[in-house]
Structure 1
């Protein structure tokens, strides 16, 4: 019964995330990102072994964190592009402003991590919050290896 409930919650979560993503991402990469998100949810669900009650509270908070983290990461990527071109294209005053934006963005990312750490501790036992952080790192490594292996296979064909 517990597994059935977890699967139903996972399905509902994926459906909800699909609806949100369909509205947010109307480009060619949306399918790829959706597969990534679906795989991540499945990976984390397996690693965290959430109870149905925990899952019901955890996933909406986690999805909101991912949305905020994604927005911050997009800003960081934009800023990194500006930094690459700074020496040739910007005045000293503009470069100073850029360095301050870089630092502020780092603070924002740290504040986001702190905020959601506290939210997760309200929902999950500390050991599962630690498992979450470990699982996120494992997932990044998993995806990197998957990408690397796919590229190797394409190079060999």
Structure 2
């Protein structure tokens, strides 16, 4: 349960960091994507046939997930900066919560559809390995970020 709460926080934290450094954003995103591809490739042990079908599907999913997490969340972050939260009316706060819930539901439905599509090309064991590998990669990335921060 704690991991489910950690991932959105991780992605939000990383998006803040990337958003603040917009010039390096695309470069950082591509570096992370390359690291993620290498990590998933080693963890999943896909056959060439599986890989040929998997990567286009995964990349499309990953792009849509990124868009939902980062593009839509940008508006939320602006409204939650500084003391803006304290200035929200109950009506505005309720509307913001509705937007956040809608975004979370969109993310859930995207993942659900992605898994349904994966079932057509990968055995269930590899889909579970993918989920574990994504979580392991996120932990590894967070640890690298923490290590880099403590070296300053």
Q: Indicate which of 60, 76, 90 corresponds to 1:79.
A: 76
Partner SS state of residue 119, structure 2: helix
Task: Return the TM-score normalized by structure 1.
Answer: 0.74
CA contact (8 A) 1:83 1:98 kept: no
Q: Indicate which of 64, 68, 83 corresponds to 1:68.
A: 64
Task: Return the TM-score normalized by structure 2.
Answer: 0.77
CA positional deviation for 1:151? 2.5
The answer to whether residue 39 in structure 2 is matched with residue 40 in structure 1 is: no
Q: Bigger radius of gyration, 1 or 2? A: 1
Q: Indicate which of 133, 136, 141 corresponds to 2:134.
A: 136
CA contact (8 A) 1:58 1:120 kept: yes
Runs of 4 or more consecutive aligned structure 1 residues displaced over 4 Å after TM superposition: none
| Aligned-residue RMSD, C-alpha | 1.7
Q: How many equivalent residue pairs? A: 128
Partner SS state of residue 73, structure 1: helix
CA positional deviation for 1:150? 2.3
Ranges in structure 2 where 5+ consecutive residues have no aligned partner:
1-21
- For 1:5-154, what aligned pairs fall within 5 Å after superposition? 27-74=23-70, 75-83=72-80, 85-88=84-87, 90-152=88-150, 154=151
CA positional deviation for 1:116? 0.5
Post-superposition Cα deviations, 1:121-155, rounded to whole Å, max 9, x if no partner, equal 11100000000000000101111122222233x33
Q: Which residue of 2 aligns with 1:7?
A: none
Post-superposition Cα deviations, 1:56-76, rounded to whole Å, max 9, x if no partner, equal 000000000011100111113
The 2-side partners of 1:76 and 1:40 are apart by 22
The 2-side partners of 1:115 and 1:99 are apart by 24
The 2-side partners of 1:107 and 1:147 are apart by 28
The 2-side partners of 1:145 and 1:95 are apart by 33
